[in-house]
């Protein structure tokens, strides 16, 4: 079957660093996406990884290990506005269908 697992909720402090993990088991693999979703809003694109390694985009970085079926999103210098749900999604065999995790709710405390 196809499955994406991520922690349900995490708490971090403003200014700190947090790592949100995602493990996936999908039929085929054509890349992994990370999206941010604030409550009641649309998901917004953060990153896409298809090769092993770390991709850095400002305060956000995403890592992929295809052999381990594992990815993480690293958020640095946390700000209160980073409080949101973070969803990982795998693009499998079809190239058109994303399989989504349930999302990790990140709570930032002052």
What would the x/- binding string for another protein be over residues 46 to 85, using CB under 8 A? x-x-x-----------------------------------
Q: How many angstroms separate the CA atoms of 14 and 103, rounded? A: 20
- The helices-and-strands tally (H runs, E runs) of the chain is 0, 11
Q: Is 97 in the site for another protein (CB under 8 A)?
A: yes
What does the radius of gyration of the chain's CA atoms come to, in whole angstroms? Answer: 13
Q: How many angstroms separate the CA atoms of 23 and 33, rounded? A: 12
Helix (H) or strand (E) holding 32: strand 32-37
- For the CB of residue 110, give the shortest distance to another protein in the complex, in Å: 25
Give yes or no for a contact between 44 and 36, defined as CB atoms under 8 angstroms apart.
Answer: yes
Q: Is 44 in the site for another protein (CB under 8 A)?
A: yes
What would the x/- binding string for another protein be over residues 21 to 40, using CB under 8 A? ----------x-x-x-----
Q: Which is nearer to another protein, 8 or 110 (CB)?
A: 8
Q: Is 96 in the site for another protein (CB under 8 A)?
A: yes
């Amino acid at each position: 079957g196809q499955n994406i697992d991520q922690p349900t909720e995490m708490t971090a402090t403003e200014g700190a660093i947090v790592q949100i993990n995602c493990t996936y088991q999908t039929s085929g693999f054509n890349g992994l996406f990370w999206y941010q979703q604030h409550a009641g809003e649309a998901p917004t694109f953060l990153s896409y990884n298809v090769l092993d390694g770390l991709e850095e985009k400002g305060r956000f970085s995403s890592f992929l290990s295809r052999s381990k079926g594992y990815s993480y999103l690293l958020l640095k210098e946390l700000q209160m506005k980073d409080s949101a749900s973070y969803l990982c999604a795998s693009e499998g065999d079809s190239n058109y269908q994303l399989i989504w995790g349930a999302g990790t709710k990140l709570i930032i405390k002052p």
